Amino acid sequence: MTYFVSPECVSCEVEDGIAILDLRSNTYFSLDPVGAAIWDRMAAPASLDDLAAVIAAEYDVAPEDCRRDISDLLDDMLTHGLIQTV
């Protein structure tokens, strides 16, 4: 399964990460710098394994911990309609 940013969401950089606006609900969300890095990589469809490998290497985190945390974030983003799957 691959994940990508919903076309109904727009984002912009802010001081400590990014702000995301869901245009359907007019709800704002925010992500810290690590979440922002994950969001940016989903501009093109990306799998959980791809995201975890990149983030684990970039932030020097154990891959299994990284994968679990990213999976939780992706589930939350799916629940709120910020991302979609292919």
Q: Where are the beta strands (DSSP E) in the chain?
A: 2-5, 9-14, 17-22, 27-31, 46-47, 83-85
Q: Given this model, what pLDDT does residue 85 score?
A: 97
In the 8-state DSSP scheme, what is residue 61?
Answer: -
Q: Given this model, what pLDDT does residue 8 score?
A: 97
Q: Given this model, what pLDDT does residue 35 score?
A: 97
**pLDDT tens digits for the chain (86 residues)?**
999 999 999 999 999 999 999 999 999 999 999 999 999 999 999 999 999 999 999 998 998 899 999 999 999 999 999 999 99
| Tokens representing residue 80 in the block | 């709120």
Contact 30, 18 (CB under 8 A): yes
* Measured distance CA(27)–CA(38) in Å, rounded: 20
Q: Given this model, what pLDDT does residue 10 score?
A: 97
Query: Backbone phi, then psi, for 83, in 5-degree steps?
Result: -130, 165
